[in-house]
Amino acid sequence: MMPKLLEQIVEVVEDLAEEEGGVLLVLAKRLLAGQRAYGRLDLAHDARDWRKERADELADALVYTAIAEVAAQVKQALAPEMAPARHTLKSDNHSSRETPT
């Protein structure tokens, strides 16, 4: 990395709160993962349509978000069926207690 760019990054990071820095770290790690998978970013020679790439990724994110919401609703709806049934038993002293079946 060029020293001037590194200096600018450090200046920005120094002004960030801890959690904001954590967000930046997550993004930096994603860039590194992409670099390992696809090589260094070289915009001068990369012919991909970055707007289309972005649109496709955002659409995927929306699909995953909707799936996660529906999955949570399905799990919530199934929760009573999945929990052990409870029956109330009366003891000799007429107090009740719950027992799993």
pLDDT digits (tens, 9 = 90+) for 18-73: 999 999 999 999 999 999 999 999 999 999 999 999 999 999 999 999 999 999 99
Q: What is the pLDDT of residue 13?
A: 95
Q: What is the pLDDT of residue 100?
A: 56
Q: What is the pLDDT of residue 53?
A: 96
Q: What is the pLDDT of residue 2?
A: 83
Q: Identify which of 24, 3, 2 has the alpha carbon closest to the alpha carbon of residue 13.
A: 24
Q: What is the pLDDT of residue 22?
A: 96
Has residue 95 got a pLDDT over 70?
no
pLDDT level of residue 6 (50, 70, 90 thresholds): very high
Integer CA distances (angstroms), 57 to 18, 28, 53, 60, 62, in order: 28, 18, 6, 5, 9
Q: What is the pLDDT of residue 17?
A: 96
